[in-house]
Chains A and B, each alone.
Chain A
C-alpha cells in the first residue's frame, strides 16, 4: 500500500487491521512478568467522615501484597482547575463509589476478595444530592477546605459552589421594552455516562531509580503525568506516562482514572500492578456529563429579529470539581447560539453535590446550552408563526460578525449549513407533508426538527518533532493520543502531504511523555487543527534543512530546488533532475550537518475579550478558546402516541469542517456523534436514589444499539478552508453530538404538538405531555 497522500481523500486508518484482527493491545491486554492485580474498595457512604480502617483481615489473606488506604498516601491534592481530589479518600468520603482503599494481590480475584475484607468505620454526615439542596442556607458543606485549594482561574464561589460566573453584553434590562414577543422556559438535561467501550484501566511499574511508568487508557499522557506527579509529590521527570490503544474516551478519560492508584500500589510493592475497572465500578467511580437546569428567556421583534436573551444556569458538578468550571463557562459562552444577540446576560453556578463527579463529555457545556437555546428558538418560531429555519436564517451570524467581546469567528458559515440541511432534507415539502398526514392506525405520527450547531476547535498548546530518517522516511512525535477519532491517520496524512511523501513513509510515535513532546490532550475537538499548525512548522523546518543538502548534491543553488512527489527534491521545473530524501538524509547523517530534525510549537491565543463590549465575571479566559465551527442538523422522528416512544428515522447533519483531511473519517465522526446525540436525546440517564446510583450497568443504562440508529444518516461535509490554518482544517469531533437533542425535541413538537423541555425525551415524559395536551 503506497498511497500518495491527497488531503480530502478517504483512506483506511493506519491501525485498522490491528484492530480488526484483535492484535491491537489496550491497557487491560498488557501483561508483565510478576505483575500484580489491583482492586479498589469503593465508599458505601455518600458523605461521611472516615473514623478508622481495619485492614488486618485483608492483609492476612494469602496472595495479598499490599493494602493501602487514605492514611498511607501523600496528603496532596490534584485537579485540572481546582486541586480538590486525592486518589484515595482522605478524612472524608463524598460520594458512593469513591475510592477508599486499594489492594494489590497475585490475581484479581484475590484482590477483590481482600478489598471486601477491609473494614471502614464511617460517621455519616447529611448529604446534598441536588444543586437545590446544595444551595440551601443550612446545606451540608461538601468541601469545607475549598478556600484553601489551589485554583488556576479567577474563581468566584461560596457555600457549595464550585464556580459562579456571569457574561453580560449590551443592556438587557432596557432591551426587553423593545421586544414584541418574549419566550421563556426552563430546560433540563441529565447525567449522561460516557460509555466508552473500554473501561478505565492502568498498569504501573517502578524501576530501581524511583521512576514510575504508567500505561493507561487516557486522552492525555501529559495530564496523566502531571496528576500522578502532583498526587505522589514527585517531579514530572520521575513519571513516565504512555498510552497504548485507547478504547474511546469522549471526555471521560481526560482526567485521571485509576493511574494514581496503580502507581501507589506499584511503589508500595515494587512490582508492576494492573488495575482494570469493571463496568459497574467505572460507572460508579468515574464521571458523567453535567446535569444542567437552564432558565432561558428570549425577546424578539414581530419580524423575528432577536433583541435580547437572558438566562440563569445551575449545574450539578458532583463531589469533585474536575473541569466543572470550564463546563459551566462553556454553557454561558454558547447560550447565545450562532445568532446576533445584541443584549444578553447569563448567570451560572455549578455546585458540589454528594454524587459522581461530572466532567467534560463530547460537546462539554455546549450540548446543554444548545438544548435550551435551540428548543427556545423553535418556541419563538411557533409563537411568531415563522418557519424554524427562516427564523434562524434571519438571525444568524454573518461574515465579519464576532462572538462575545469581539472574539473572532472565522468563516461564518452557519447560514450555509442551514441552507444545506434544508435542501438535502427537502425540508419545506417534507415538513408540510408530515404535518398534513393523518395519525397512523397504530397511533404513530412523524415530525421534522432542526437545530443549529456552533462550537470551537482549538485550545491550549501542542508541539511536534519530525525526524527525517537516513532512508528518507519520517517519524513524527506529537504526544497526541488517538482515542479512536482517527487523528494518527490525519497527522500522517498532513505530514505526508506537506513533504509530498506517501503516507506509509510516515511513522507515528505512540504518545509517551518520554518520547513525544507536549500536547495538552485529546479534547475540545482540537487535535487535527492544533497538530496541523505544528506539522506545518515542523515540516517547513525539515524542508529548510533538506534543501541545502539537495542543492549541494544537485550542484545548484538552494533557491533553484523544490519538493516533488515521492520523497524527492528536484531542480525547479526539471523534475527528472532530482535527489531523493534518502540521498539528502544520508549526507546529513554521515557527512555534513547532522541528522535533520524539524520542530513545531504552537499555543492558541486570541485577544482577550473587549471588556467594553462584554463583561465576563468569574470565567476562565476566553482568549484560549479557538476557532468557530458551524453546522446544522435535521431529524425526522416518529412518535408513538400509545406508548410515548420516540424514534429517529432519518437524519441530516451538515458541518463546515474547513477542509476534510480524511473524508471517510470525517463522515464517521458525524455519524457516530449523531447517534451518541440520539442516546442523549432519548434514552441515556444515570439515576440516583439518595446518592446511590441505581443503574450502573449496560443492562440498566442503555446506549443506542444498531437498531436505534436511523435507517439513513446523511453526513454532509462543507469545506470553507479555515483562513488561520495552514491546511485549512477545523475540528469535527464534538459538533455532531450537539444539535441532536433539540432537533429531536423540535421534531416531537412538530409531530404531536407537545414541547418536552427535559432530557432524555423518554416515552414516559412524552406520554405525560400528551396527557396534559389532551386528545
Chain B
C-alpha cells in the first residue's frame, strides 16, 4: 500500500465559509465548536446524547459524487468526522429578500414554536425533509421528526407547519439547491486523497485516506478507537467522559459505503448508515423496513452505521437479531487479510466480540429470504419509537410441503448478554407440524435459552413473557389462526 499524502488540517465548509482547523481533539463535538468557538448559539444543547434533537444541523456530504444534505445531531458528531463536509446551521437560513426562510415562516404562522428551545432543531429537521420531499405526507413528517423532542406543542402545530412549507417557497429555488454544484465542487476539492492526521497522546486524530489506508493505520495502532457514525462513541465522550484517543474516523470512507447484491446475498459495507441501507433492505427484505424506521430518530439513522451496530456488540443492538435469523455472515479484515464468520459467532460475551487486534468489521452479508419462507421482526419498547429495545425477536421459518417445520432460525435481542439464537426453541420446533399445540409445547424451551435481566426498561419476567408472546404472534401471522392466545399464568410460572 502506497502511503498517502498527510494533511495536518481538517477542512470543511461552515455555512458560507471555508474552515481549516489544525488544533482539533478527537473528542471535540460539533456542538461545542459551534457554540463555544464560533458563537453560533442558535444550535442548542438539550441532552448531549442524540436523543432530543435540539442540536440538529445539516451536514452535506458527497456520496458517489452527489451532494446530499442530512440532518444530524451536533452534540455527538465529532469534528473529526466532518472533513470534506458542508455544515449548515440555523443561522444560515434566509428567505428571499431578507425575509424568513419558508420553513421558519411556516413555523411562525402555524404556532409551531412555544418555548422555542427545540425550535431551531425542528427547523433544521424540517428543512432536510422539505428539500427531499417538498410535499410530504403526515406519516413522512412524523417519521422525519422522530428524533426531535418537543415538550410544549404536542407536535400537532409543527406537523401543520410542515405541511404548509411549500406555500412559502420552492425547494428547488432554495440556496442549498441552487448552489449545490458550486458547493459540491468545493467539497470535492477538499477531498484531495490525503490522510488527515493531527495531535499526539490524548489528542490524536486520524482520518484515513481510504479503506486500505484505514487497514494499515489500524494495523499499526490496534488500540485506536474506530469512529464511524459516533452515535455510540459520541456517548462514551459526552456521558462517560472516556478518552477515545487515538481515534480513527471512517465515516467518510467510500470504500465502506457500498451495498451490493449477488445471487440473493446482500453485502452491506460497514460504513453504510441506517438511512443509506433502508431503501435496499426495505425493498429486498420488507420486514426490515418498519424495524429500521424504529431505530433512533432520523438524525441517528443518518449517522449510525450497520457496521457500528454490529461491531459494538451491544445486546440490544437492533440489527444483529434479524441478521442472525437470516443466517448472515460477517467479514473482518486486518491489513490485507480477511476472514468471514457466521454473525452469531462474532458475539462472545457481554462487551466481548471476536474482533482481533488490528481487525475491523468490513462488511455484513445478509441472505434474502427464499420465496415462500416467512421472516418477521418484532421490537418491544417502552416508547413506540426512538427507544431502546426491551426485547426484540426475529423469526425465519421455512415450512415443508407437508406443513412441518423444514428450517427455523429465531434470534433475540435484550434477552441475554449478547444477541442470541433461541436454539432450544428452534430444536423444539424443527421437523414438527407448524401448529398451535407445537408452539405451546415449545414455549418452556425459552427458559433453557434465556435468563433475561431486570432493568429500568423491563423486568426479567416481562421480557420472557413478551418473548414467548412474540412467537405466538409470529405463529398467528404465518398460519390461519385468529388472534394469538395469550400466555397464561401457569405457563408464565
A758 CA to B492 CA, complexed, in Å: 22
Contact A671:B157 (CB < 8 A) given known A16-B107, A642-B473: yes
Instruction: Check if B115 sits within 8 Å of A248, measured CB to CB.
Output: yes
- Of all chain B residues, the one with the shortest Cβ separation from A676 is B151
Q: Is B437 engaged at the interface, CB distance under 8 Å to the other chain?
A: no
A664 partner, pick from B111, B150, B457, B470, beta carbons under 8 A: B111
Write out the residue numbers on chain A whose beta carbons fall within 8 Å of the beta carbon of B49: 279, 697-699
Which of chain A's residues have a CB closer than 8 A to the CB of B91? 21-22
Task: Report Cα–Cα, A250/B492, bound state, in Å.
Answer: 41
> What is the CA–CA distance of A713 and B48 in the complex, to the nearest angstrom?
31
Q: Decide if A699 touches B51 in the complex (CB within 8 Å).
A: yes
Q: A21-B104, A673-B154, A700-B388 are in contact. List 13 more A-B contacts (CB 8 A).
A: A13-B113, A20-B112, A20-B120, A247-B116, A279-B46, A484-B114, A642-B472, A671-B154, A702-B383, A709-B156, A711-B138, A771-B489, A772-B489
Interface contact B114-A668, CB-CB below 8 Å:
yes
Contacts A279-B47, A641-B486, A764-B458; A20 near B119 (Cβ below 8 A)? yes
What separation, in Å, do the CA atoms of A16 and B111 have in the docked complex?
8
Asked, given contacts A19-B113, A26-B117, A767-B465, whether A705 binds B484 with beta carbons under 8 Å apart, the answer is no
Asked if B380 is at the interface (CB within 8 A of a chain A CB), the reply is: yes
Is residue A199 contacting chain B, with contact meaning CB distance below 8 A? yes
Complex Cα–Cα for A225 and B472 (A): 61
Question: Contact mask B48-84 → A, CB, 8 Å, 1/0?
Answer: 1101101000000000000000000000000000000
Smallest CB–CB gap between B283 and chain A, Å? 23
B46 to A198, Cβ gap below 8 A?
Answer: yes
Which of A436-444, A453-461, A583-591 contacts its partner?
Answer: A436-444
- Contact digits for A743-775, partner B, Cβ 8 Å, 1 yes 0 no: 000000000000000000011100110111011
For chain A, residues 711 to 768, give those with C-beta under 8 angstroms from any C-beta of chain B. Answer: 711, 713, 762-764, 767-768
The number of residues on chain A lying at the interface, defined by a beta carbon within 8 Å of a beta carbon of chain B, is: 85
A8 close to chain B: CB less than 8 A: no
| Interchain CA distance A676-B158 in the complex, whole Å | 16
A464 interface contact, C-beta 8 A? no
B296 to chain A, nearest CB (A): 10
**B490 shortest CB reach to chain A, Å:** 10
Given contacts A22-B90, A705-B149, A774-B488, contact A683 B382 (CB under 8 A): yes
The answer to whether A195 and B477 touch (CB under 8 A), given A247-B117, A664-B111, A694-B456, is no
In the complex, the answer to whether A698 meets B385 with C-beta atoms within 8 Å is no
A708 at the interface (CB under 8 A from B): yes
Interchain CB contact under 8 A, A16 and B486: no
| Interface contact B41-A25, CB-CB below 8 Å | yes
A22 touching B42 in the complex, CB below 8 Å, given contacts A197-B117, A671-B154 = yes
Q: Report yes or no: A771 in contact with B116, Cβ–Cβ below 8 A.
A: no
How would you classify the secondary structure of chain A's contact residues: helix, strand, loop or mixed?
Answer: loop
CA distance A664 to B155 in the complex (A): 14
Known: A13-B113, A21-B100, A763-B382. A697 touches B51 (CB 8 A): yes
Q: Are A671 and B146 also in contact (CB < 8 A) when A24-B116, A197-B46, A683-B382 are? A: no
Chain B neighbourhood of A645, CB < 8 A = 380, 384
Asked whether, in the complex, the Cβ of A16 is within 8 Å of the Cβ of B151, the reply is: no
In residues 409-438 of chain A, which contact B (Cβ within 8 Å)?
438
User: Most B CB atoms within 10 A — which of A199, A484, A645, A667?
Assistant: A484
Chain A residues, CB < 8 A from B112: 20
In the assembled complex, B321 has its CB within 8 A of some CB on chain A: no
> Is the beta-carbon distance between B47 and A248 smaller than 8 angstroms?
no
Residues A441 and B114 in contact, CB atoms below 8 Å apart = no
For chain B residues 19-65, which have a beta carbon within 8 Å of chain A? Answer: 39, 41-49, 51-52, 54
Give Cα distance in the complex from A726 to B142, angstroms.
41
The complex places the Cα of A704 from the Cα of B385 at a distance, in Å, of 9
Q: Please, could you name 11 A-B residue pairs with CB atoms under 8 Å apart, sorted by A?
A: A13-B113, A21-B91, A22-B43, A197-B115, A280-B239, A641-B486, A643-B469, A664-B110, A668-B114, A706-B155, A771-B487
